Structure 1
Amino acid sequence: MKRKSAGAGRNAAGKGEALSVSAVERIVRECGFAPETGQVEQLAEYLSLVLKWNKVMNLIGPYSWEEALRTLIMDSLHLARFLESLSLPESPSCWDFGAGAGLPGIPLRVVWGKGTYHLVEVREKRALFMQQTVARLKLPNTHVFRGRAEDFMAEQEPADILLSRAFMPWEKLLDFAGSNVAPTGRVIILAIEDVPATLPEGWRLEARHEYAVGADTRYFWALAPIIASS
C-alpha cells in the first residue's frame, strides 16, 4: 500500500513533547479510541522500540513518535474496530505478509488478540526486530516467520484472514495467495483509494470502511471468495 509523504512540516524525531504513556493515551483518545491502560503502555513501548531500532535500520523513515502514532499506528486501531465488525470464526488464523516493522500487526495485536496471528517477513533484521518486540510485549498467539511467503503458505492450513500493508498491489496479492484463503475467509485490503467498480473474478466485497488520518482518507476493504454453487 502506497503512502503519501508526511510533508515538509514534519518535526524531527526527539523534538516536541516527550514520548510517555500519558502522551500516547491522550492522542489515542483524541482519535476516538479508549484502550485499556495496559494496552496504552504496550503501544508506548512499541513506539519506543521502533524509534530505537529505526536509528540503525530505517524501519519507518524519519518520523517522530507522535507522527508514527498518528500516521502509522492509528491504522491498526481502526483495523481492530473493522475486524470486530466482520463475521469471522471465533479463533481466526491471520496472515500478515511483508510485516516489516510490525505494522499493522503488532499494534493490532495489542488491542485485538483473537485467534492466531502470523507476521511473515523475508528480511532477517526486520524479522529479528519483530521477534524481540513480540516477546517484549508478551503478545499471545502471535508468531514471526522469517522467510518467503510461498514457503510459509506451504506449511499452513488456509487462512481466515489475509492482510498486508505493502507486500504487493492488491490485485497481485489475490492472485498470489487468494487460493490459500479459506472459503469462508477474507482478504483485507488497506488502501488509499475506494473499492473499484469491478473486482477480479471470484471475489466479492463484503464490507468497506473509510477513515481520516490527518488530511488523508484511507480505506479497508474486506474481500470474500465467491463460493461456486454445486
Structure 2
Amino acid sequence: MTTGNPTSESVARAALALGRELTPEQAAGLAAYLGLLESWNRKTNLVGPRSWPEMLSELVADSWHLADLLESLDLPEDCVTFDFGAGAGIPGLPLRVFWKTGRYVMIEPRAKRAGFLRQCAAMMRLKGTEVFEGRAQDVREKADVCLSRAFQPWREFLETSRLYLRSMPGSAAEARCGANATQHDPGAGQPGRKSAVVVFSNEAQPEAAVPEGFGAAAITAYPSRGKTGYFWVFAPSICSS
C-alpha cells in the first residue's frame, strides 16, 4: 500500500491512469490535499480509504467530474456555492483545484474538521474558498449553488436548499419565500441570476416526485469507483410556503 507524502508527479501519474490529465498546478494542489488527508486520517479517521491512491480513486476523482458539470452550468461569475456537511473536504477541496468560480463556502459544525479544512485550504492556496464553522441554520446569506454529497436525503436537501437559494427581485417567488435574502446578501435578488442544487446519487433518476418549487434540470452520469455515479441538478422555479 502506497502511503505518505504524495508528490505532484506521483499524483499526476495516478490521475492519468484514471483518465484525467492534470496541469502541474492541479497536481500540486491534489498532492498537498492527499498528503494532509492521509496524515490526519491516521489519527482521526476522516475517511474510509487509508492510502492516498485509494483516496484519489475512490473520493477525489468525483470532484473533477463535478467541476466539469459546474463549468457547463449557466452560473454567474461571482456565484456563491454552499457545500453542506463538508466533513473531510470531499468534494469541495479537490473541486476548487479544478473549478475556481466565485466564492465556495464549506459548512462544517465540528471544530476539529473545520480546522482540518482551513489548514488544507491554506496549504493548497485555494482562493475564494472559506470554512463556515457552525450549523447550516446559522448561515446568514444566500447562495447560487447548494451541493450535497451525503448531507441529507435528496428530497430533504431540496427543502433545506430552499432556505438558501437566491430569488429574483419583486417576483412572486421572492414575495412568497420572503425570508432574510437581501438583508444579509447584497447579491440576492438580481434579475436573471441562476441558481442550482446539485446532489450526488447512485441512482439514474429520482425515485419520487420532485418537491414543488423545483424542477429536475439535468442528470449527468460519470464513472465512479468502477461503477456509474450520477449528478442530479435541480433548478428552482417558484418557491412554495
Instruction: Pick the TM interval, shorter chain.
Output: 0.7 to 0.9
Q: 1:202 aligns with which of 187, 208, 213?
A: 213
The AA in structure 1 aligned to 2:222 is Y
Q: Distance in 2 between matches of 1:83 and 1:62?
A: 26
Match of 1:186 in 2: 196
Paired residues of 1:95 and 1:163 also in contact (CA < 8 A): yes
Match of 1:166 among 150, 153, 164: 150
Q: Which moved more, 1:24-33 or 1:181-190?
A: 24-33
Shift of 1:13: 6.0
- The equivalent residue for 1:75 is 62
Q: How far has the Cα of 1:109 moved from its partner?
A: 0.5
Amino acid at match of 1:207: A
CA, structure 1 residues 95+218, in 2 after alignment: closer, same or farther (shift >3 Å)?
same
Ranked by relative contact order (alpha carbons within 8 Å, sequence separation 6 or more), the top structure is 1
User: 1:63: which partner in 2?
Assistant: 50
Q: Secondary structure at the match of 1:55?
A: helix
Could you tell me which residue of structure 2 aligns to residue 6 of structure 1? Answer: none
Unaligned runs of 5+ in 1: 1-11
CA offset digits 1:163-220 (Å, max 9, x no partner):
0212111111111232321243100011111222632222111122111223321000
**Which portions of structure 1, spanning 4 or more consecutive aligned residues, are displaced by more than 4 angstroms?**
none
The answer to whether the aligner puts 1:48 opposite 2:58 as a matched pair is no
The question of whether the paired residues in 2 share the 8 Å contact of 1:189 and 1:221 is answered with yes
2: CA distance, partners of 1:203 / 1:141: 28
Amino acid at match of 1:188: V
Q: Secondary structure at the match of 1:52?
A: helix
Q: Secondary structure at the match of 1:87?
A: coil
Trace 1:40-189 onto structure 2 (pairs within 5 A): 40-152=27-139, 155-156=140-141, 158-183=142-167, 184-189=194-199
Structure-2 separation of matches of 1:114 and 1:214? 27
Q: CA RMSD in A?
A: 1.7
Matches within 5 A, 1:10-49: 12=1, 14=3, 19-49=6-36
**What is the CA distance between 1:91 and its match in structure 2?**
1.6
Residues 1:222 and 2:237 aligned together: no
Q: Deviations over 1:130-188 (max 9, x none)?
A: 01111111110110011000001xx21x2100002121111111112323212431000
Percent identity of paired positions between Structure 1 and Structure 2? 42
* Whole-Å separation in 1 of the counterparts to 2:73 and 2:17: 25
Runs of 5+ unmatched residues, structure 2: 168-193
Would you say the 8 A contact 2:41–2:50 is kept in 1?
no
Deviation at 1:39, TM superposition (A): 1.2
Question: What is the TM-score of this pair, normalised by structure 1?
Answer: 0.87
Partners in 1 of 2:229 and 2:49 — Cα distance? 21
- Whole-Å Cα distance in 2 between the matches of residues 79 and 62 of structure 1? 20
Bigger drift between 86-95 and 20-29 goes to 20-29
Moved more, 60-69 or 127-136: 60-69
Q: TM-score, normalised by structure 2?
A: 0.83
Task: Please give the alpha-carbon distance, in whole angstroms, between the structure 2 residues aligned to 1:107 and 1:193.
Answer: 23
